[in-house]
Amino acid sequence: MAEGDRLPKAVRILGGLLLMTAFVLVCLFVVTRYAGYWGVPMFSFKTENGSVCKNNFAGYTCTELTLADVEFYGEVDLPDDSTVVEGSYTATHDYALDVVLEVPKASADVALKALANSFGPCREAASPLTAEGLSQRCAMTNDDVFGSEDPRNRTRIFSVGTGVRKDGTRVIAMSVKSR
């Protein structure tokens, strides 16, 4: 094109509209893709360990927890063949983890040792786990301990119940909250 030759006005307008539309679409894509990670309410995100969480106005709630996140939030090292049956983690200015897990027979004893390592020995206490069909029941709790020197009791309140089914599977119910 020679100097002074211009594209028809309709082509220039159409080209400008297409560029603006493309810019808006790219911006929308970026916002919707990363809004969850930025903490925008009602947008979802995945944690580093793969749990699916959704932001709300005061924090976020994870409802599809992975074993890695249960171990991280619960401060416990469970066997790798443990399975998360159901659970949720809510983080605001405080946190709350409520989860039910199953551990196969082969790792049931290792899981009990891991629980005792993180939450202390079994006690006579109310368990968050229903006792029907379970043997070797155990409850670990610190809801009646205050001012203890034990680091497990300084920053969190926990109630953990566990028992073994007839097939040897260890069932664990954990409720861990910040103090």
Q: What is the pLDDT of residue 70?
A: 93
The pLDDT confidence band at residue 33, using thresholds 50, 70 and 90, is confident
pTM of the model: 0.78
Summarised one tens digit per residue, pLDDT across range 96-149 is 999 999 999 998 899 999 998 888 888 777 777 776 778 888 888 886 666 566
Q: How far apart are the first and last CA of the chain?
A: 74
Q: Which amino acid is at 154?
A: R
Q: Does residue 51 or residue 124 have the better pLDDT? A: 51
Q: What angle do CA 75, 79, 82 make, to 5 degrees?
A: 95
Q: Say whether pLDDT at 153 is over 80.
A: no
Residue of 25, 50, 47 lying closest to 37 (CA atoms)? 47
